[in-house]
Amino acid sequence: MKKILMIGILGLLFYNTSFADSLRVVDGDTIVLNGEKIRFSGIDTPELKQTCMKDNEKIFCGETAKILLIKKIGNKTPECISEGKDAYKRTLAECFVNGESLSVFLVRSGYAFAYRKYSDKFIKDEEFAKENKLGIWAMTFQYPWVFRKL
């Protein structure tokens, strides 16, 4: 069963994640829309290679965040509100599908953190996920900004 599930997850990851010629999901908090690299502002998701532990089992939590985002977007095209550029020249934005913030969705689901270093906008959503032990809050994990420094 685990083997089949992992094959299915890997299949989703390596399947062309472009839903249209104009959209590609890079990871849990980054998309490319019409050739423009967009980093979701105010949140941070686990890195693609990052793992978490749940019940002594390794979970690919960065990949899970990406899959969750892919499923949430579905065949829709996100609408993004630009908030400027970051140091890597990516557009910082909050993006929406059917009027719902993808950032709020990811944080409230427990697969993204409020990135307090840059914003306090999603703290209440993170508190909700943490209190309800959703997503990575039910696991042992490292914050992505700590993982990147290792």
Which pLDDT belongs to residue 10? Answer: 43
105 located within any domain: no
The average confidence (pLDDT) of the chain is 89
113 located within any domain: no
pLDDT in tens, 119-148: 999 999 999 999 999 999 999 999 999 999
- What one-character DSSP code corresponds to residue 90? P
19 located within any domain: yes
31 located within any domain: yes
146 located within any domain: no
Whole-structure pTM value: 0.85
Enclosing domain of residue 43: 2-99
- We report the CATH number of the domain holding residue 21 as 2.40.50.90
Residue 4 phi, psi (nearest 5) = -65, -45
Q: Is the pLDDT of residue 20 over 80?
A: no
Average pLDDT of span 49-69 = 97
Separation between Cα atoms, residue 20 and residue 30, nearest integer Å: 16
Separation between Cα atoms, residue 99 and residue 80, nearest integer Å: 10
73 located within any domain: yes
Separation between Cα atoms, residue 148 and residue 49, nearest integer Å: 10
- Both tokens of 32, joined, read 């490319």
Which pLDDT belongs to residue 66? Answer: 98
Closest to 43 (Cα-Cα) out of 145, 128, 149: 145
81 located within any domain: yes
Count how many domains the chain has.
1
17 located within any domain: yes
